[in-house]
Every structure is written in structure tokens, then in C-alpha cells.
Amino acid sequence: LKPSPHLFTQLRKVIKLSKVQEVIFGLALLNSFNPDLQVFAAQFIKQKLPDLLRSYIDADVSGNQEGGFQDIAIEVLHLLLSHLLFGQKGAFGVGQEQIEAFLKTLRRDFPQERCPVVLAPLLYPEKRDILMDRILPDSGGIAKTMMESSLADFMQEVGYGFCTSVEECRSIITQFGVGEVTA
């Protein structure tokens, strides 16, 4: 296959890609080693992404399922959102108003209490996970327990060489990652 302006249209017809799949395919090819393919992929996305977002937003308003986001994996939606939110502004022909409308529609479809973990930081960046704070109020204690457990396992692995001398013991503990050892 040679990169051309019609490559994506031809692939879409041959492979029978949905609107969402063709945009994701274009996003994936932005990482191609072939610079021509990157350019054509960017042009294709600039042409198709605004229509895709518009159809999703309009589908929510009219109740029509033309947008096609109901059948895609959450990870794919995460990829699309990441490109929209953290990619170059305006690179895909989508304005800030359209991105905000898309986010509003997604937040309606994925309320915070039912939002997948992968999407939560993108859809609700201002919210903290309160439940985790309640479950793990003292995460430092857990880290300390894990360190002590790991140090005990490490000492067992080293065996008697660990206690041949105080200097050897300090040296091994320091190599393990403990900053300062006092006797």
C-alpha cells in the first residue's frame, strides 16, 4: 500500500470500518514511521473527527444511535479522549466548544459513580477518589509494612552472609535501599 489521499477511504470500504473505527485507525497511523502516511492520517482525522463528535452529540440529543460509541471498548474511547484533551489544540479540526459538548455528553453517559476507572481522570479531573482515602487512610503504614516484609525476605535470601559482621550487615541494608542505618 502506498500512502495517498484516498488510502483511508479505500481501506474504510474494503475493511468496512465504522465511523469510530476509521478515526481510531487514523489516530493509530499518526505514529507511523512513514511521514507521508502521518500527513494523510492527520488530514483524514481532521476531516472525519468533527463529524464523528457531532454525530455523537446529536445522537444524544435526538435519541438516535448514529454516533457509534455504544459498541466500542472503553480503552478506545480513552485513546480518543487523550488525543482530544492533550494533543495539539486545533490539530484535528475540533474546536474547544465541540470538545466541551462531547465531554458533557460523555459525562451524561458515564456518571461519576458508574464511570470506568480508565475514563474517570479524563472526564472528572477535579474529583478525587474519596473511597480510596477512606479505605487507605494511612498508606505510609502499608508501605512500611511492605518494606519490612521485603527486607525480611531479602535477609532470608542472603542467608548467614548477612550477619557475618556489622559492616557487612550495614552494606547489604544500604544496597537494599534503606538510607541510613544506625546500630
> pLDDT in tens for each of the 183 residues of the chain?
677 778 888 888 888 888 888 888 888 888 888 899 889 988 999 999 999 888 888 876 655 554 556 667 888 899 899 888 888 777 788 888 999 999 999 998 888 888 888 888 888 887 655 455 433 444 454 455 445 557 677 777 777 777 777 888 777 777 766 666 665
Handedness of CA 40, 41, 42, 46 (dihedral sign): positive
- 56: closest CA among 47, 64, 45, 67? 67
Residue 49: all three cell numbers together: 473527527
pTM of the model: 0.62
Contact 45, 26 (CB under 8 A): yes
Residue 179: all three cell numbers together: 538510607
- 110: closest CA among 102, 121, 119? 119
For residue 70, the model assigns a pLDDT of 62
